[in-house]
Amino acid sequence: MFNFIKFKFILILFLPPILFGCMAMTPNIASIRATSGPEYITSIHRDLVSLPKPENPIPVAVYKFRDQTGQYKAPGNATNFSTAVTQGATSILIKALEDSGWFLPVEREGLANLLQERKIVLQMRELYLTEEQKKQFEPLPPLLYAGIIFEGGIIGYDSNVTTGGIGAKYFGAGGSAEYRVDKVSIYLRAVSVKNGAVLKTVQTSKTVLSQMLSLGIFRFVRLNRLLEAEAGIAANEPVEMAVQEAIEKAVYDIIIEGVKTGIWKPKDTKEFEKWLSKYENELKEKTFASESISKLSKQKESKDIVKELFKY
């Protein structure tokens, strides 16, 4: 009887803070309101908008930045035909090009709609205006054409690249923590309109992290009296934010790579050299890390081969 009273005291003391703590972590859906501006400010966005500006903004066109993965979300108990990544990558790319200040995007995704509206304007003038009235209106100016077309797409979405967790239970009480890492990959290339040459191609990738924490208790406190309590929270990094950050990183990279190869020029060359040095240092660090991982994997493969040879 003493043990049961002691257990009730511990339960009354610790269970409410746990439950109320989980409730505090749960967002209040009713209080969320529409906000202006982007929902997600990525880690690369500040660098993208802080780059030294070009001599003149470059007119560019984006016809379609497609989802080339062809993947659908993993189904649960029923078939799910929702795609794994966003289908609005073209809009994200155009926004990133505009935010950089280096490019002047022209409308090409809805080109048919634009041409149709211009056609309607010309037809209405022809049908309902007299010759004198027509002279008062200036003719429609020509459309702005682009010197460079940006092509590419989302070329990969790998689920469960890394999974893991930890947990423990004792006497019916315990908790667990789990995580999962996905990866999205982007290719972006600049194509010359004059001769169709691919001027530069860049590749970027971004991980998508999902985490879950759960606590629970399950035990008989007395005869035919069962106590069961659960609490938990899960946090999933939005795939849209990962795609947005990967696209902004691709635009950032292609601006710097274009300056290195002489495709376009900055207004302040000395100021841009600082960003170029920062970019090259990042590449060196990434190359060094990749080589280290490659050496470790080769050593492991060689050890595995030796084990296999001397297995018998």
Residue 306 has a pLDDT of 43
Residue 57 has a pLDDT of 93
Residue 292 has a pLDDT of 60
Q: Which of 118, 106, 184 shows the shortest CA–CA distance to 150?
A: 106
**Separation of alpha carbons 17 and 246, rounded Å:** 40
Of 214 and 307, the one with more pLDDT: 214
Give the β-pairing of 148-170 and 66-67: parallel
Residue 296 has pLDDT above 60, yes or no: no
Q: Cα torsion for 115, 117, 123, 125, to the nearest 10°?
A: -120
Residues 285-307 have a mean pLDDT of 57
Residue 310 has pLDDT above 50, yes or no: no
Residue 195 · residue 236 · CB < 8 Å: no
Interacting residues of 259 by C-beta distance below 8 A, sequence separation 6+: 265, 266, 272, 276
**Separation of alpha carbons 170 and 168, rounded Å:** 7
Of 306 and 15, the one with more pLDDT: 15
Percent of the chain with pLDDT over 90: 44
Residue 116 has pLDDT above 80, yes or no: yes
Residue 111 has a pLDDT of 92
The string of pLDDT tens digits covering residues 247-284 is: 999 999 999 999 999 999 999 899 999 999 999 988 88
No. of H helices and E strands in the chain?
7, 7
The string of pLDDT tens digits covering residues 168-210 is: 888 778 888 999 999 999 999 999 999 999 999 999 999 999 9
Residues 28-47 have a mean pLDDT of 75
Residue 185 · residue 154 · CB < 8 Å: yes
Residue 2 has a pLDDT of 45
Q: Pick the range with the lowest mean pLDDT from 2-6, 80-84, 118-122, 231-235.
A: 2-6
Residue 297 has a pLDDT of 52
Residue 15 has a pLDDT of 56
**Separation of alpha carbons 266 and 56, rounded Å:** 8
